């Protein structure tokens, strides 16, 4: 796993970066200017870890561009993909969980740009900035609900349903319309799908090859397009 250097500041960041981002959208330009002056910005190449599970949570982050893949390592040393985070969201918010260490590893799924702040500023942001706490805990609640849904899927659903649910989550979060259907808008492999669904690469490959032949999806090198959204919903059991 490639590691990133420590964050650094590149020039004076423009206030428009945060105007439409929910945790900061209720703030006036002066407040946003103050927040940006406290931030560091960094570009992360695809595959680079932003931070790692178990390390001190010394910073929290806002993803400006790209996608972040959140992974956990099991006791057996296997990697499990927990979440994908799109741009415009906070991540690395261990403080919101009452933790001093990161509960998971964050890896850039694509070339990405993020702002970050020292964790010592967290309590001040919560107290001073209208909407920051509300939006942060709403985001956290959404992620916890998604992970709970996945736990239920793993315990109760067949492999075919789990894979279909994973594809639906990804296109709901990151999908973009293309001529053939809806494309997952970042590189995703069959190995990634297997790690998201708790099944083997062989099973995922067999299932997705069959769906490809039936015209439900189209997959290539790190790209997946859902061609028949309705059919994938049916395969999922009607649940996203």
Quote the number of domains for the chain. 2
β partners of residue 129: none
pLDDT at 221: 82
Are residue 118 and residue 61 in the same domain, yes or no?
Answer: yes
Domain that holds residue 103: 2-149
Are residue 21 and residue 103 in the same domain, yes or no?
Answer: yes
**How far apart are alpha carbons 63 and 91 in whole angstroms?**
7
Measure the CA angle with vertex 143, ends 27 and 87; round to 5°. Answer: 50
Whether residue 8 is contained in a domain is answered as: yes
Query: H or E segment at 128?
Result: helix 122-128
pLDDT at 7: 43
pLDDT at 6: 42
pLDDT at 11: 53
Are residue 126 and residue 25 in the same domain, yes or no?
Answer: yes
Measure the CA angle with vertex 25, ends 23 and 28; round to 5°. Answer: 120
pLDDT at 82: 86
pLDDT at 145: 85
The sign of the dihedral angle between the CA atoms of 180, 161, 240, 79 is negative
Domain-terminating residue out of 125, 149, 173 = 149
The strand ranges marked E within 45-127 are 48-51, 59-65, 67-73, 79-86, 90-91, 105-108, 112-118
Whether residue 124 is contained in a domain is answered as: yes
pLDDT at 121: 96
Per-residue pLDDT of the chain (240 residues; tens, 9 = 90+): 554 444 444 456 788 888 888 889 888 889 999 999 999 999 999 999 999 999 999 999 999 999 999 998 887 777 888 889 999 999 999 999 999 999 999 999 999 999 999 999 999 999 999 889 888 888 888 888 888 888 888 778 899 999 999 999 899 888 899 999 999 988 899 999 998 888 899 999 999 999 999 999 999 888 999 999 999 999 998 754
Whether residue 240 is contained in a domain is answered as: no
We report the CATH number of the domain holding residue 55 as 2.60.120.10
């Amino acid at each position: 796993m490639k590691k990133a250097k420590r964050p650094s500041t590149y020039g004076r960041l423009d206030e428009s970066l945060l105007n439409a981002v929910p945790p900061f959208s209720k703030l006036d330009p002066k407040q946003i200017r103050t927040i940006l002056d406290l931030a560091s910005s960094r570009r992360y190449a695809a595959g680079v870890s932003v931070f790692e599970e178990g390390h001190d949570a010394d910073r929290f982050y806002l993803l400006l561009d790209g996608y972040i893949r959140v992974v956990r390592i099991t006791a057996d040393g296997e990697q499990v993909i927990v979440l994908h985070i799109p741009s415009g969201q906070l991540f690395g918010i261990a403080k919101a969980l009452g933790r001093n260490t990161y509960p998971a590893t964050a890896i850039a799924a694509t070339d990405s740009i993020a702002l970050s702040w020292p964790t010592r500023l967290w309590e001040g942001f919560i107290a001073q900035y209208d909407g920051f706490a509300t939006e942060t805990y709403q985001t956290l609640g959404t992620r916890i609900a998604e992970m709970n849904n996945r736990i239920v899927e793993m315990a109760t659903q067949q492999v075919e349903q789990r894979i279909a649910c994973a594809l639906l989550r990804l296109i709901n979060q990151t999908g973009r319309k293309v001529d053939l259907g809806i494309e997952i808008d970042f590189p995703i492999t069959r190995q990634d799908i297997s790690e998201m669904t708790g099944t083997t690469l062989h099973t995922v490959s067999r299932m997705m090859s069959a769906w490809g032949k039936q015209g439900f999806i189209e997959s290539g090198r790190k790209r997946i397009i859902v061609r028949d959204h309705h059919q994938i919903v049916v395969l999922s059991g009607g649940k996203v």
